[in-house]
Structure formats: C-alpha cells, structure tokens
Structure 1
Amino acid sequence: MLVTTAFAIGTPSFLAAVLLQGLFAVRLHWFPTGGTGDGLGRMLWHLTLPAVALALYLIGMLARVTRAAMLDILGQEHVTVARSRGVSERQVIRRHVFRNALGTVLTTGGLIVSTLLVCTVLVESAFSVGGIGQLLELSTTTKDFPTVQAISLIMVGLFMTVNLVVDLLHPLVDPRVALGPRRQAA
C-alpha cells in the first residue's frame, strides 16, 4: 500500500499521461491515443486514460492522508476506551476512527480539487482533448489576454467555491467546529 501510494504521488500527471498512452494506446491498442469520439459511449471511452492520468496522483494523496489521519486517531484515548468497553473493531473504525478522520480527509479533498484544475491543462494537451486547458494553452500562445484572464477568473472562482463548500461541510463532519463567533461563558 505504501509503495503504491508513493508511486502514485511521485508520478506527475503529464508523465502518467505519456506512460498510459504508451502502454494502453500504442502497445496494447485498448484505448485511443487522443480525441473525444462521437456519442456518449465513445466519448467516455476516449476520456478513460486522461481521467486515470489525472486521478492517479490525487487518489494516492487522498489514500496517504486518510491512512495518516486514521493511524493518528487509532492511538487516541477514546478509541482505547471504546475497545475496552467491548465495541467490535469494525464499529470502532467506523464510529470513532473514520468519523474523526473525516475532517482532515475533507480538507485534503478540497485541496485536491484545486490541484485537479491545474493538472487538467497538461493532461488535455497530452491527449489532444479539447477543453478549458487546451483553450488556455492556445490563448496563451496567441496572446489572447482577455481569454486568459477569463479562464483564470473561472478557475479562481471554482477554487473559492470548492473551499467555501469544504468550510460549510466541515461543521457537519466535526461538530466541534462552529460556524460564526463563539460566545464565552460568563
């Protein structure tokens, strides 16, 4: 598990794109090398390798953070108390460990989505898939500054929206986190 996540985290998305194309598209002929295809089924088939190239790093990072957060909580006192009361290991993991680790995982998930926005540009270029990344690349090379600014504004808006959603979901996951100012007891 640790070796797999280290490999996934250490492989940049553009390198994963090239390696996946070389193996599954060129050598094995299982997937197309690029484009988008006609129809929904063909489009999904064409987007499989780019999606895997983007997700490889992100899944590795999320798995590593989830493991670290759960190991940290496994050593805490309330887990030991739950085990000593005779609670089954499955319930200890589900109720006490994963529930408390979910805040860290949620925050990391928000950061991962912002990373996904940046990596999309590189993967779209490698697979010749038309999208916002390819438009940004074309606009940059042709010095179309209004388009570059608009795409940057959209990406910043998406980043802020994701962070807002994570901040609003955090009190639902961890009741100790409160929205708004706390009142001091007199």
Structure 2
Amino acid sequence: MGWAGFLLRRFAGTAAVVLLLSVGVFLLLYLAPGSIQQTLLGTRPATAETIAAIQARHHLNDPVALQYLRWFGDVLRGDLGTSIRTGMPVSDMLGQRLPLTLALVGYGTLLAALAGIPLGVLGALRRGRVTDRLVVTAGVVGLSAPPFAVGLLLLVVFALWLGWFPVYGTGQGAGDQLWHLTLPAAALALGAVGLLIRFGRAALVREMEQDYVVFARARGLSGPLVLGYAMRNSLVPILTAAGLVVTGMLAGTVLVEVTFALPGLGSLLVDSVTFKDVPVVQALALLLTVLISGVNLLVDIGYSIIDPRVRLGRSVS
C-alpha cells in the first residue's frame, strides 16, 4: 500500500471514530438529570416564554437524529453553542483556555521523554544489576503515583517549604509562564516517566537479544553503533508509550489544573460539570475526542515512518 492509500485509510478511520463518539457527546444533553429545557435554561426562571424560546432555538420538537445533524453541522462551522453559566460563546471560552492546557501537556511530555527514555535505556544496558533494579523501582513508583497527589507533594516541598516555585497562577511572559508550569508539568510527567521506562527498557532488552545484534558484535562493530541499531528497532514500542503518555496527560490535566489553580481546559471542565453547563461539557468532551484521535493518528503515521512494514500491511513480528 502506498503513502496515499495508507494516509487515506488512517484519516478515514479517525474521522469515523470522531463521528461515532460525537453521537455520544451530543446525547449528554439527554442524559443530564431533569428535562432538556430545564438543563438548557440553567438557573434562569422557567417561564412559558423562556421554555418556548429554548425549544425554538434548539429545535427540540424535531426528531433526535435531526437535532444531532443540526448540532454537528454547527460544530463543523465552529459554533459550539452558548454557555449556560456565563452566556459567552463556548468556542471563545475554549479558545482562551486551550493554549495553556496544550502548553502544560507539551511541557509534561518533554520532561517525561527527557527522563523516561534515557532511564529505560540505562536499565536495559544494566539488566539484572543494581542500577536496573533501581530504574525499574522508579518506574513502578511513577506509575503508582496519582498526578494530583504528586502535585500536592510538589507544592508543599518546592513551593511552600523551599519557595523555589510559585504556588499558583500562570505568570507573565513566556519565561515566567514556563516557570509557573514547571511543577504542574512535573506532576503530570512522573507517571509518564514510569510508562516510558517500562516500554523502553522492555523493547531494548528484546532487541539486544536479537541475532542481528549478536552478529554485529561478532563483526567487531562498536558498542554505540550496535546500540543505535537496537534503539531504532525499539522505537515502535516507545512511540506507542509516547502516544499513551500524551493522551493520559490530556485526561490528567483536569485534577492537576485544579490543584495548581491554572485556568485551562481541566478547570473549565470541573466548573462546567459543577454548574451543569452542558453545552460547555459537550464541547470539551468533543474537543478531547478530537485531540486524542489526532494523537493516535500521528502515532500511526509515526509507525509507518519508523517501520515501512506497517504502511505496507505486513507483520512486524
């Protein structure tokens, strides 16, 4: 299969997943407690005029399938509705908060990669030794620690006791914002480090036992060159772990942003659920669906670049 066919198939699969999940996102309106009209009214008085206006505006007398098609058509045009709580367009609210969340996820992913991948390599190269056991233990601890609990611990130690980092807020300017996001990103990265250690170490250990590594060593190739060959063939599992890291961080930002009082998508989701702001919850759920599907699509494309057998539909075993 050529590049065009491979990309077309992957994009089509991603679009189908997003379309299917969008149905569930739309049905959140019907799953909310109480009547649909009362849900959309929020705290406003439920007079006959306001209920009639809500029914007319959202076409609630139409069949559900037609309501979904109209809602999804508005989404494609960038109209995500209006917040019940604030009266602001939902798209504006997401646009204000999305950059901070993406910056936090990107920063956390970078920290996790800088720590997790080298530690995984170190554990594989020192397999069975004390260093390897320490690396594996660190990975287990990282995977077992909830991000919000790690965030609280980092706040107490590095912000309150030592005063090295700010307690909350986003800062002013790129450098100050990076400083403010360091502790939240570290809280997100700790669990991701454990995942990268586990996948990276296991993949490299397996590759170092392959016949081509034994043959390369027998030919007298240098250790770094042999390690480079093994690392390249270990990239598919590591890329899988990286995809899991990013998607996990997108979900983990909810509690971390609340812990550090950051005005990102996570804190917006908590506020919207608390005040039953269904249009915002729908938009956030759909946005997270698109982001996670996009990450999975990029991982699939990365597979095909690292190992062409994926693109050609052949077995990688």
TM-score of the superposed pair, with normalisation by structure 1: 0.92
Distance of 2:176 and 2:207 partners within structure 1 = 44
Distance of 2:267 and 2:163 partners within structure 1 = 25
1:109 match: 242
3-state SS of paired residue (1:34): coil
| The one of 145, 155, 161 aligned to 1:11 | 145
Distance of 1:112 and 1:38 partners within structure 2 = 28
1:78 aligned to 2:212? yes
CA positional deviation for 1:129: 0.7
CA positional deviation for 1:99: 0.8
1:47 aligned to 2:181? yes
| The one of 38, 53, 64 aligned to 2:172 | 38
| The one of 278, 283, 293 aligned to 1:145 | 278
Moved more, 170-179 or 160-169: 170-179
| The one of 6, 13, 25 aligned to 2:159 | 25
2:297 match: 164
3-state SS of paired residue (1:90): helix
Distance of 1:151 and 1:22 partners within structure 2 = 31
| The one of 233, 258, 277 aligned to 1:125 | 258
Q: Which amino acid aligns with 2:288?
A: M
2:200 match: 66
3-state SS of paired residue (2:299): helix
Q: Which amino acid aligns with 1:161?
A: G
What is the RMSD computed on CA atoms of the aligned residues? 1.3
Distance of 2:174 and 2:308 partners within structure 1 = 42
Per-residue CA distance 1:45-83 (angstroms, 9 max, x = gap): 211100111111112211221011000111111111111
Higher RCO by CA contacts (8 Å cutoff, separation 6 or greater)? 2
Query: Is the Cα contact below 8 Å between 2:258 and 2:267 reproduced in 1?
Result: yes
3-state SS of paired residue (1:73): helix
Structure 1 unpaired stretches of 5+: none
| CA distance 1:178–1:39, shift in 2 (3 Å) | closer
Moved more, 125-134 or 4-13: 4-13
Distance of 2:164 and 2:300 partners within structure 1 = 41
Per-residue CA distance 1:106-161 (angstroms, 9 max, x = gap): 11111111101000001000000110001000000000011001001000100111
Structure 2 unpaired stretches of 5+: 1-134
Distance of 2:159 and 2:250 partners within structure 1 = 24
CA positional deviation for 1:85: 1.3
Distance of 2:233 and 2:139 partners within structure 1 = 22
Distance of 1:163 and 1:77 partners within structure 2 = 32
3-state SS of paired residue (1:177): helix
Per-residue CA distance 1:88-110 (angstroms, 9 max, x = gap): 11111102x11111011111111
2:191 match: 57
Indicate the structure (1 or 2) with the bigger Cα radius of gyration: 2
Distance of 1:25 and 1:146 partners within structure 2 = 36
CA positional deviation for 1:175: 2.4
3-state SS of paired residue (1:167): helix
TM-score of the superposed pair, with normalisation by structure 2: 0.55
